[in-house]
Structure 1
Amino acid sequence: MRKQTIQLTFCLLMLSTFSIAQSQLTLGVKGGANFTGFHTGSSTFSSEFGINLGGIAEYSLSDRFSIQAELLFNQKAGTFTIKDNSNFVLGSVVSELGYIDIPILAKIYISDKFSFEVGPQIGFNISEKTEFNGSEVESELKTLDTALVGGFGYQFEQGLFIQARYGYGLSEVFENERYKNSVISLSLGYKFN
């Protein structure tokens, strides 16, 4: 009898722990637009357009703080000019890039619906198209991309949310150039309860 009571207590404890853990984890999907370009550390030019699409997992640690991980497909792009030694413009380069990005964000709820989020992001390049003066060329693109991302979110009723975020690239996109990704993202999403 004592053994059955201990087993029943253990099972109830495990079930309650599992239900508490599940109530702290929220899954969702999101998609939106990217306004993207390259920055050099001193200047940014965001003239290109792309999309973002993916899933989120938010783990609540308290009423006001959570950790949010995302798995996203992000289209990024940028334009820059190439000059010779006498500063004469030879032409422009346009690169369209596709990344699988994984941001890990600390999410602070300023109110019940409004949040601030910040954290690191690592990305893996999965597609690339580079043109010089309208003709496709080979580029020496780095596979790994790192960034610091931050932004704001607003949670509506019924699971809908919106996000505005900026991604400041920390690593250079190309082997022999100083350009880094710069992305402003606007997204609409839905959290499953």
Structure 2
Amino acid sequence: MRKTLLLISLFLSKMAFSQVVESDSVRKSMVADTSIAEPMLLEKPDLSVFDTLSYAEEYKRDIWRFTIGVRGGLSRGRYTLQEETINKVGSTGLPVLDENGKVVKNRFINNATFNSGYNVGLVFRFVRGSFYTQPEIGFSQKAGRFDILNNDGSLYKRVNGKINAIDIPILVGIRFRDARFFFGPTVNFAYKMNSEMKSALKEYTQESKLNHEFFTRPIMNFMVGLGFEFKNMFFDLRYEKGLNSYTQETLGSSNSPAPFKLLVDGIHLNIGFLKK
């Protein structure tokens, strides 16, 4: 009987010890798991990283920001004339006659090649989200070429023209990372032609007419472009499409006037700096 009680006592003691060991093991395991999970629970999400597929959402969450900058670069321009046959006139405005007593006429035609100029300007940019608007004011040379032919079709004169103008582009665009796409109207105020163009035209009108009043002001063209930004620097390539003639004047004798209409297309490569 004593042996039986002793065996029962030893069995119960062993069961109690195993439960204590198991409980302690479970507790340590839970502590270990908590030590691993705790940093994950305390880690906060990076709220500064926010990506969206919607430009509209990006626009709503941002505010308008303003920056100013400067730009400058080279231009390549091309003239488009209304091709006409025009009487040559003298300093008095009367037609010039050849040795046979006939009025000397020359034909103005287009030359599709580009001519070089330059442009500079101030940039005012208003940004909100991925959208921005960018009014500018600048100076540009509207370069191009046209040809004047003799009666027999031979080349009489090739004119490398340049027109000085004040430009006011009103651009809107979309930014994507370091790239941007933009477009908009540009208002031009032409006021002066270069000496080569003036010398050629004065054979067909009085020189006194070839001043700032010769040009129609203002006119509106259209501009589209693509740009890239690197910190404070930017580069852009623009195409300006001529929509209106820079002049509505006539050339030739008073009894046979011919319209002189001139449109200009231009490609502008710019480098600039923005204050950020």
User: Is the shorter-chain TM-score for this pair beyond 0.5, marking a shared fold?
Assistant: yes
Q: 2:270 aligns with which of 183, 187, 192?
A: 187
Q: 1:118 aligns with which of 183, 187, 202?
A: 183
**Structure 1 match to 2:216:** 142
Q: Return closer, same or farther for 1:166/1:132 CA change in 2, 3 Å cut-off.
A: closer
Deviations 1:22-81 (CA, angstroms, capped at 9, x unpaired): x6111110111111121359x873421111111101111x32111000101111122111
**Structure 1 match to 2:193:** 128
What SS class does the counterpart of residue 216 from structure 2 fall into? coil
Of structures 1 and 2, the larger Rg is shown by 2
In structure 1, what is the Cα distance between the partners aligned to 2:267 and 2:197?
25
Q: Does 1:68 align with 2:134?
A: yes
In structure 1, what is the Cα distance between the partners aligned to 2:159 and 2:219?
19
Q: 2:229 aligns with which of 155, 178, 184?
A: 155
Q: Which has the higher helix share?
A: 2
- TM (norm. structure 1) is 0.76
How far has the Cα of 1:83 moved from its partner? 3.7
- TM (norm. structure 2) is 0.55
In structure 2, what is the Cα distance between the partners aligned to 1:165 and 1:28?
17
Q: Return closer, same or farther for 1:190/1:90 CA change in 2, 3 Å cut-off.
A: same
Contact 1:92–1:133 (8 Å) recurs in 2? no
Q: Which runs of 5+ in 1 are unaligned?
A: 1-19
Q: 1:32 aligns with which of 73, 81, 98?
A: 73
**Structure 2 match to 1:174:** 247
Matches within 5 A, 1:5-44: 24-39=65-80
Structure 1 stretches of at least 4 aligned residues deviating more than 6 Å after TM superposition: none
**Structure 2 match to 1:164:** 237
What percentage of residue pairs aligned between the two structures are identical? 26
Deviations 1:110-133 (CA, angstroms, capped at 9, x unpaired): x21100010000011132225369
Matches within 5 A, 1:29-108: 29-39=70-80, 45-60=112-127, 62-83=128-149, 87=153, 89-108=155-174
**Aligned letter for 2:140?**
N
Contact 1:92–1:132 (8 Å) recurs in 2? no
Q: Which runs of 5+ in 2 are unaligned?
A: 1-61, 83-109, 249-258
